[in-house]
Chain A
Amino acid sequence: AQTVTQSQPEMSVQEAETVTLSCTYDTSESDYYLFWYKQPPSRQMILVIRQEAYKQQNATENRFSVNFQKAAKSFSLKISDSQLGDAAMYFCAYGAGNMLTFGGGTRLMVKP
């Protein structure tokens, strides 16, 4: 069974600074997807970024980028120029066969 581990229960960043959230996963599959979801207090899960495992190039979405290390099974999220609205729970997820396995989450706090 696949497992996803987020080793940082909480992270804090100063507004306008950069923060990196860590995620590792375990799988024997070669074809899969990786995701970062943001969950604000409203509890709606918002897709932040997606990475296809077959792509070597790291995905980027505006201020959000990933560092995908397939051999190390590592998938970290970098948030640049942090904003107060970035404060939320962030979940890393592994997807294969259209099924998702989630990590336990990292709570990100942004200090003004």
Chain B
Amino acid sequence: DAEITQSPRHKITETGRQVTLACHQTWNHNNMFWYRQDLGHGLRLIHYSYGVQDTNKGEVSDGYSVSRSNTEDLPLTLESAASSQTSVYFCPRVSPCEQFFGPGTRLTVL
């Protein structure tokens, strides 16, 4: 079955540290996305990719970067974590006309 794996599920880090959140897919889809959700709000798009070596900025990309060296992975890096980046991060499983969201990665920046 096609799966998506986000890791870690929970992460606590300190301000200024570099953090990388992993997203690994087995559904062989070109498109991958990263969203963040702050408490009481909807999801907002951070970065996305339509294929290997393709990356694009979303609505809230400042302070984040992604790389796409293969089809399966789209790691999200916080170059210097800030308290404002405390949030839940989602990398959904993508089908041609839908996205399926898992529980995400809860990141706390102290």
| A, B from the same assembly | yes
- How near does chain B come to A12, taking the closest CB pair, in angstroms? 17
A45, A99, A105: the one within 8 Å of B101 (CB):
A45
A-B pairs with lowest CB-CB distance, top 3? A102-B42, A45-B101, A102-B43
- Distance in angstroms between the alpha carbons of A104 and B44 in the assembled complex: 10
- Distance in angstroms between the alpha carbons of A45 and B104 in the assembled complex: 9
Nearest chain B residue, comparing its CB with the CB of A91: B42
B31, B59, B90, B96: the one within 8 Å of A45 (CB):
B90
The answer to whether B104 touches A91, judged by C-beta atoms less than 8 angstroms apart, is no
Q: How large is the interface on B (under 10, 10 to 19, 20 to 34, 35 or more residues)?
A: 20 to 34
A44, A93, A98: the one within 8 Å of B31 (CB):
A98
Please tell me if B88 contacts chain A, counting CB pairs below 8 Å. yes
Further contacts, 9 of them, CB under 8 A, given A43-B37, A95-B99:
A35-B98, A42-B103, A43-B103, A44-B103, A45-B90, A91-B42, A91-B43, A99-B45, A105-B40
Please tell me if A16 contacts chain B, counting CB pairs below 8 Å. no
Nearest chain A residue, comparing its CB with the CB of B29: A98
The A/B interface has a contact count, at CB < 8 Å, of: 54
- Distance in angstroms between the alpha carbons of A99 and B99 in the assembled complex: 9
The answer to whether A100 touches B43, judged by C-beta atoms less than 8 angstroms apart, is yes
- Distance in angstroms between the alpha carbons of A15 and B43 in the assembled complex: 28
Q: Which residues of A contact B98 (CB under 8 A)?
A: 33, 35, 47, 50, 95
Nearest chain B residue, comparing its CB with the CB of A104: B42
The answer to whether A100 touches B41, judged by C-beta atoms less than 8 angstroms apart, is no
The answer to whether A95 touches B45, judged by C-beta atoms less than 8 angstroms apart, is no
The answer to whether B42 touches A103, judged by C-beta atoms less than 8 angstroms apart, is yes
